[in-house]
Amino acid sequence: MVSGSGPQDRNEEILEHKPFWVIADYLTKQGFAVLRYDDRGTAQSKGNFTSATSVELSQDAESALDFLKTNPKINSSKICVAGHSEGAMISVMLAARRKDIHSIALLAGPGIQGGELLLLQQYLINKANGVPEKSNKAMQRYNRKIYDIVLKHKSLEEVRPILEKKVRKTLKKTKESELIGYPSKEALIQESLNNVCNPWMFYFIKYNPKADLEKVNCHVLALNGSKDLQVPPKENLGAMQKYIPKSDKSQVFKELPNLNHLFQECETGNLTEYGTIEQTIQLEVLKIMIDWLKSIQNK
């Protein structure tokens, strides 16, 4: 199991929920072996998370896959890589370069370019939080310009001074009274820059999963919640269904009603709900995973 973005422990713990623990417990009771691991530099894992991009994180996942294959109790020809959010993206990256992967289970996985996904995510979350449409669209235009600058440059060292010039120009007229939550205008400028000018974000904005999706030739289960504001189903599930080549392998693409990014039953899908919902993951999602895994066991 491969966790989503940000430093995650093996339970993918968020706001007192432990979705990977729940999934692993359910699968294990049904007779499936499950390997979870702490992200590099997190909990009991060593290493530096802040310098890692999705490429390095995919190499970590690949090491976990190779470790599993050394265990005589594991059927090495029937390993499924299951990922949530960025973890689903990494599962696709692995399936594209490893033909010994039997299947992938993609939970709320990206199917469109990182920069486009971020713009869509920002718009929907702002809308859910009551940001006026005019302001929301203005933010979209500004962020698109920022991402376009990133797309045109090959390195962080090259792009940072160009972005800094753009950010300083944009924030030039910002008054001190408007700096809610920031001690100074300079602090706002530096945070704005650091949010984009870090290895993970620089890579993610540029990464387009299309090429990797087109190389997938294993069994695929792809699930998204209909109220997912972080990885909206129409665009992302739609892209996966479009780009993954049709084959005789099992391919299941499902949009599940009234579920958010964590596959909790929800009202709006807004991130503010995650910690207020008692449910960690809808039981139906677990049943779909089990039924699918059982259906492909002998294929």
At residue 82, the 3 state secondary structure works out as: strand
Are 100 and 215 contained in the same domain?
yes
pTM, to two decimals: 0.93
Classify residue 50: in a domain, yes or no: yes
pLDDT tier for residue 66 given thresholds of 50, 70 and 90: very high
User: Last residue of some domain: 205, 227, 260?
Assistant: 205
Q: End of a domain among 205, 240, 273?
A: 205
**pLDDT for 53:** 94
Please check whether residue 144 lies inside any domain of the structure: yes
| Statement: residue 282 has pLDDT above 80 | yes
- Structural domain for 100, as ranges: 19-112+208-295
Does pLDDT of 277 surpass 80?
yes
- DSSP H or E run through 19: helix 19-29
Average per-residue pLDDT in the chain?
A: 94
Q: What does the DSSP assignment read for 197-208?
A: SSHHHHHHHH--
**Percent of the chain clearing pLDDT 90 (strictly above):** 87
Tokens of 268: 């709006």
CA distances from 11 to 57, 92, 115, 125, 201 (A): 17, 21, 28, 25, 23
Answer yes or no: do 200 and 212 share one domain: no
CATH of the domain at 28: 3.40.50.1820
In a shared domain, residues 241 and 279? yes
- Residue 108 and residue 212 in one domain: yes
Is pLDDT at 140 greater than 90 in this prediction?
yes
- pLDDT tens for 170-181 read 887 777 666 677
Note whether residue 1 is domain-resident: no
CA distances from 207 to 90, 173, 180, 214 (A): 11, 33, 33, 14
Instruction: Please check whether residue 10 is in contact with residue 4, taking contact to mean a CB–CB distance below 8 angstroms.
Output: no
Residue type, 1: M
Quick one: 183 and 107 in the same domain?
Answer: no
The reported pLDDT for the residue numbered 121 is 96
- pLDDT at position 8 over 80: yes
Same domain, residue pair 228 and 289: yes
Q: Please provide residue 190's backbone torsions phi and psi, each rounded to the nearest 5 degrees.
A: -65, -40
177 secondary structure, DSSP code? G
The tens digit of pLDDT for each residue in 196-251 reads: 999 999 999 999 999 999 999 999 999 999 999 999 999 999 999 999 999 999 99
pLDDT of residue 178: 67
- Residue linked to tokens 């702490």: 38
pLDDT digits (tens, 9 = 90+) for 69-110: 999 999 999 999 999 999 999 999 999 999 999 999 999 999
Query: Do 144 and 156 reside in the same domain of the chain?
Result: yes
Residues 225 and 108 in one domain: yes
Beta strands in 111-234 (DSSP E): 219-225
The total number of structural domains in the chain stands at: 2
DSSP one-letter code for 275? G
289 shares its domain with 243 = yes
222 with 288, same domain: the answer is: yes
Residue 8 within a domain: no
Claim to verify: residue 41 and residue 105 sit in the same structural domain = yes
Same domain, 194 and 63: no
Residue with tokens 């896959």: 65
pLDDT at 298 over 70: yes
Question: Strand 103-107 relative to strand 80-84: parallel, antiparallel, unpaired?
Answer: parallel
Q: What pLDDT sits at residue 183?
A: 80
Residue 11 is assigned to a structural domain of this protein = no
pLDDT at 210: 97
Domain stops at, among 190, 205, 220: 205
Q: Mean pLDDT over residues 181-190, rounded? A: 82
Residue 12, in any domain of the structure: no
User: Is 7 part of a structural domain of the chain?
Assistant: no
The full length of the chain comes to 299
The pLDDT value recorded for residue 73 is 93
Beta strands (DSSP E) in 175-285 are: 219-225, 251-256
The answer to whether residue 283 is domain-embedded is: yes
